[in-house]
Amino acid sequence: MEKMPRVLVVDDDSDFVESLRMILENRSYEVITAYDGVEGLRKAKEESPDLIILDVMMPNKDGYAVCHELKADPEYNSIPILLLTAVASNIPTTKYTQRMGMEIEADDYIDKPVAPSELAKRAEALLQ
Amino acid sequence: MLNDAKILVIDDEAVIRDGCARILTKEGCRVKTVENGEAGLDLIRTEDEPFDILLLDLMMPGISGMEVLDAVSRIDQALSVIVITGYATVESAVDAMKGGAYDFIAKPFTPDQLRIVVERALERKSLLKEAENLRNEREKSLRDVADEKSRITTIINCMVDGVLVTDRESRIVLHNPAATRLLGIEGLQIIDESLRRCINNEDLARAVTEALDTEKSRYVEISQEITSSEESGKVFLRTNTAPVLNEDGETMGSVTVLHDITQEKQINDMKSDFLTMVSHELRAPVSAIQQQLSVIEEGMAGSITEKQARMLTRAKERTTGILDLIKDLLDVSKLDSGIVVQHKESTVLQDILEKVCQLMEPEAEAKGIRLNLETSDHLPLVNADRENMEDVFINLISNAIKYNVEGGGVTVSVLSHGEFLRVDIADTGIGIPKKDLPRIFDRFYRVKNPETRTIIGTGLGLPIVKSIIEAHHGSISVKSREGEGTTFTLLLPRISE
């Protein structure tokens, strides 16, 4: 049997992490979790996940910083990162300005909360 | 000429008195006669309306003509005296003239001679009066100017806002205490000094130069936020600078009003901190709830009944509503505090447009829409805030794609348009109904019809766009035909070379 893809979910909201875990486990992924940026970074390095789903707004170290550190490290920069954005705006402005303003380091973005099927689709695409 | 002049004749000879009265009355004068000096002086003192001319005999019984002349000069200096000399002796006439008489006439005289001498005296009198009026008027207007000046000084000195006026060479010619206080140069003597030299603020100096360089008859107002440091700390100022034009529309100088917005800024910061807090603290649990609901709804936490599924769908709709509301709240706060043009610089707008078009390409492609950018070389530069402009074009182009039809097109064209750079964003979309057109720049206004129902938006995009364009002294207009498409036209003032 093929090895289950391992997904690291990093979010400070444990309920949210739990929901994502259910969605992903339902799709037969192995899920490991972390509850802040520092822990997320450590687990990303220790557990060599196949995909990281990373929340942006977190205590200690935010998602951008974690993303930046991993992408700057040649050992880990191949791990795809799906950034969970909760930047509230349905004006396209904020999102795009952000993208233009900084280098697009994450491999994909998705707004919280996410539709389960959409999350699965994005995760699958990044794991290809 | 002699009309209505009021004349007094003092002579002891009845022939002369009657003769004068007859001749002058015929000319339209009002004549009174008395036979001695005492009676004459009484009349001069008591008459309500002063006499214009006194015909005075020098040789009279009682007090002499010379004494009367002397007294008259003390009672009414404006009264012109013509002496009548009995013996045609030049000496007495000369004495009288030295004593203040204006003219003399020798007895015996003809009616014409009398008329001439009276006429001449009246003429002089009216000239004197005119000169006097002119002098009074001039004094009054000088007084008015002084009053006006002191009034202006009082007004601007009472103002809480700073006022700074420069001449054409950007030397300071007028300011109030608030201005020096806000700029942190209290107590310095800055009148007649060059603005750049005595006020260490590049943004302000640039705005003044820009206002002074404005082309003839074109009124502009440059509004910006600057910071300066005062003893008590950093001060945020909103400044408005405009040229002062004379009647011919030529720039005579500039005026700048400085408004302290430090407190507003602090409150705004607090507000935005609060809103960030709300967004995180409120949004996080609601979005966690929504996430949990969708997990249950899709049966990932065990199978559910159809009835439960229906209720979960409803519950999710409600949490979606709350999340939208939180988004709106944050968008409003962005609109209230966000439109600040701080980094205006000389900008090649085509570069921004190219980048934005590139960015929007995937979105257009997904809807099968052709996105074209039409531009040419040698287009004028504009003074713009890059980030603001990106916002504007992302908004407009994104709308043009969203409200388009499958297989439609969006054309963005840039061209020089007189004093302006013009950008047209034209789509072949669903168009905007005529009744909705006037309101599309209003906050929270969305065109509601079956075609737009599925399109997400709060209705805040266009008001933001408009605010930004206006903050750049530009304008935005829209033309639309239902079913054919919409064209937004932006005009931004070009930088004059």
CATH code where residue B216 lies: 3.30.450.20
* Chain B residue whose CA is closest to A14: B288
* B467, B372: one domain: yes
Give chain B positions within 8 Å (CB) of A88.
279, 283, 326-327, 330-331
- Give the domain-ending residue among B86, B113, B132: B132
* B208, B190: one domain: yes
Angle at B282 (CA atoms; ends B279, B287), nearest 5 degrees: 100
* B325, B350: one domain: no
Select the residue of B279, B294, B326 nearest A116 (Cβ to Cβ).
B294
Binned at pLDDT 50, 70 and 90, residue B460 comes out as: low
Domain with B222 in it: 159-260
pLDDT in tens, B199-249: 888 888 888 888 888 776 566 677 777 888 766 778 889 888 888 888 887
* B355, B481: one domain: yes
**A100–B355 C-beta distance less than 8 A:** yes
What's the pLDDT score for residue B167? 92
- Whether B143 maps to a domain, the answer reads no
- Whether B180 maps to a domain, the answer reads yes
- Give residue B250's identity as a one-letter amino acid code: E
* B75, B29: one domain: yes
CA distance B448 to chain A (A): 17
CATH number at residue B377: 3.30.565.10
What's the pLDDT score for residue B371? 92
Which pair of tokens denotes residue B452? 């737009």
**B291–A20 C-beta distance less than 8 A:** yes
Give chain B positions within 8 Å (CB) of A118.
none
* B358, B488: one domain: yes
**B394–A93 C-beta distance less than 8 A:** yes
- CA distances (Å), origin B94, targets B97, B98, B115, B125: 5, 6, 21, 20
Give chain A positions within 8 Å (CB) of B461.
91, 93
Q: Which residues of A touch B (CB under 8 A)?
A: 13, 15-16, 18-20, 22-23, 26, 57, 86, 88-94, 96-97, 99-101, 112-117
pLDDT in tens, A24-59: 999 999 999 999 999 999 999 999 999 999 988 788
E-assigned strand segments in B58-142: 80-85, 103-106
- Give the domain-ending residue among B285, B308, B338: B338
* B182, B240: one domain: yes
- Phi, psi (deg, nearest 5) at residue B132: -65, -45
Select the residue of B295, B394, B458 nearest A22 (Cβ to Cβ).
B295
* B167, B107: one domain: no
* B167, B181: one domain: yes
* B404, B481: one domain: yes
pLDDT in tens, B25-48: 988 899 999 999 899 999 888 888
What's the pLDDT score for residue A76? 92
Cβ pair B475, B490 in contact under 8 A = yes
Q: How many domains does chain B have?
A: 4
- Whether B105 maps to a domain, the answer reads yes
* B305, B421: one domain: no
- Whether B146 maps to a domain, the answer reads no
- pLDDT greater at residue B194 or residue B344: B194
Question: If residue B315 lies in a helix (H) or strand (E), which one and from where to where?
Answer: helix B306-338
Select the residue of B287, B295, B458 nearest A112 (Cβ to Cβ).
B287
CA distance A75 to chain B (A): 30
Cβ pair A53, A8 in contact under 8 A = yes
Give chain B positions within 8 Å (CB) of A53.
none
Binned at pLDDT 50, 70 and 90, residue B179 comes out as: very high
List the end-to-end C-alpha distance of chain B, in Å, as a whole number: 67
* B46, B95: one domain: yes
**B323–A113 C-beta distance less than 8 A:** yes
- Give the domain-ending residue among B260, B275, B291: B260
Which of A18-32, B108-122, B246-260, B332-346 is predicted least confidently?
Answer: B332-346
- Whether B142 maps to a domain, the answer reads no
**B359–A96 C-beta distance less than 8 A:** yes
- Whether B145 maps to a domain, the answer reads no
Binned at pLDDT 50, 70 and 90, residue A92 comes out as: very low
CATH number at residue B87: 3.40.50.2300
* Chain B residue whose CA is closest to A98: B387
What's the pLDDT score for residue B54? 92
Delineate the domains of chain A, giving CATH numbers in brackets.
6-123 (3.40.50.2300)
What's the pLDDT score for residue B466? 83
What's the pLDDT score for residue B293? 93
- Whether B389 maps to a domain, the answer reads yes
